[in-house]
Amino acid sequence: MNVHIIKKDVKHINLKVKPSGEVILTAPTDSNERDIEYVLKKRADWIDKKIAFFDAHREVHVKEYVSGENFRYLGRNYRLKVIESKEEGVKLQKGYLQVFVKNTSNYEKKQRLIKAWYTQKAKIHFQKAIEKYKPIVKQEIETVRIREMKTRWGSCNPSKGYINLNLKLIEKPTECIEYVVFHELAHLVYADHSAKFYNYLNLFMPDWGKRKNRLER
pLDDT in tens, 75-111: 999 999 999 999 999 999 888 999 999 999 899 999 9
Residue 63 lies in a domain: no
Residues 113 and 127 in one domain: no
| Co-location of 135 and 188 in the same domain | yes
Assessment of whether the complete model's pTM goes beyond 0.85: no
Are 97 and 138 part of one and the same domain?
no
Starting at the earlier edge strand, list the strands of the sheet with 96-101.
Answer: 70-73, 76-84, 96-101, 89-93
Single residue among 98, 118, 138 that ends a domain in this structure: 118
Amino acid identity of residue 206, one-letter, is P
Check residue 78 and give its pLDDT.
Answer: 93
C-alpha dist (Å) from residue 162 to 144, 179, 185, 188: 6, 17, 9, 9
Residues 33 and 91 in one domain: no
Q: Which of 70, 71, 65 is nearest to 105 (CA)?
A: 65
Q: What is the number of structural domains in the chain?
A: 3
Intervals of the chain under pLDDT 70 = 1-2, 20, 56-61
Q: Which domain holds residue 185?
A: 121-216
**Domain identity same for 136 and 81:** no
pLDDT at 61: 60
Is 98 in the same domain as 150?
no
| Model pLDDT, residue 3 | 80
Q: Identify the sign of the CA torsion 128, 129, 135, 137.
A: negative
Whether 64 maps to a domain, the answer reads no
